[in-house]
Amino acid sequence: MAEHTSRNSASAVLTNLVRLLPDLEPLYKDIHAHPELSMHETRTAGIAADRLRKAGYEVTTGVGKTGVVGLLRNGEGPTVMLRADMDALPIAENTGLAYASRISAKDAEGNTVPVGHMCGHDMHIAWLVGAATLLSQARDAWKGTLMAVFQPGEETAQGAQAMIDDGLLKRFPTPDVVLGQHVMVGPAGTVAGSAGPITSAADSLQIRLFGRGAHGSMPQASIDPVVMAASVVLRLQTIVSREVAANDAAVVTVGVLQAGTKENVIPDDAIIKLNVRTFDAGVRKHVLAAIERIVNAEAEASGAPRKPEITPLDRYPLNVNDETASNRIAEAFRGYFSADRMKHTGPAPASEDFGCFGTAWQVPSVFWFVGGNDPKTYAEAKAAGKLNELPVNHSPQFAPVLHPTLETGVEALVVGALAWLGPS
pLDDT digits 0-9 by tens, 368-418: 999 999 999 999 999 999 999 999 999 999 999 999 999 999 999 999 999
**Residue 155 annotated in ligand binding:** yes
Residue 144 is classified by DSSP as: E
Q: Where are the domains of the chain?
A: 2-200+318-421, 201-316
**C-alpha–C-alpha distance, residues 77 and 142, integer Å:** 9
Mark out the alpha helices in 337-401 (DSSP H runs). 355-361, 375-383
Q: Are strands 79-85 and 144-151 parallel, antiparallel or unpaired?
A: parallel
Q: Tell me whether the omega of the peptide bond preceding residue 404 falls within 30 degrees of 0, making it cis.
A: yes
Mean of the per-residue pLDDT values of the chain: 96
At 63-120, the pLDDT tens digits run: 999 999 999 999 999 999 999 999 999 999 999 999 999 999 999 889 999 999 999 9
- Strand 342-344 to 191-193 pairing: parallel
Tell me if the pTM is above 0.95. no
Residue 9: the pLDDT is 86
Which CATH architecture best describes the domain 201-316? 2-Layer Sandwich (3.30)
Element (H, E) at 72: strand 67-74
- Other beta carbons within 10 Å of 106: 11
What CATH superfamily classification does 2-200+318-421 receive? Zn peptidases (3.40.630.10)
pLDDT in tens, 263-318: 999 999 999 999 999 999 999 999 999 999 999 999 999 999 999 999 999 999 99
State how far the alpha carbon of 128 is from the alpha carbons of 68, 119, 157, 289, 363, in Å: 12, 16, 20, 40, 21
Q: Has residue 7 got a pLDDT over 90? A: no
Q: Averaged over 183-192, what is the pLDDT?
A: 98
Lowest mean pLDDT among 140-144, 344-348, 370-374: 344-348
Contacts of 255 (CB under 8 A, 6+ apart): 273, 274, 275
Q: Report how far residue 132's alpha carbon sits from residue 220's, in angstroms, rounded to the nearest whole number.
A: 67
Q: Give the Cα separation of 59 and 56 in Å (integer).
A: 9
Which helix (H) or strand (E) segment holds residue 97: the answer is none
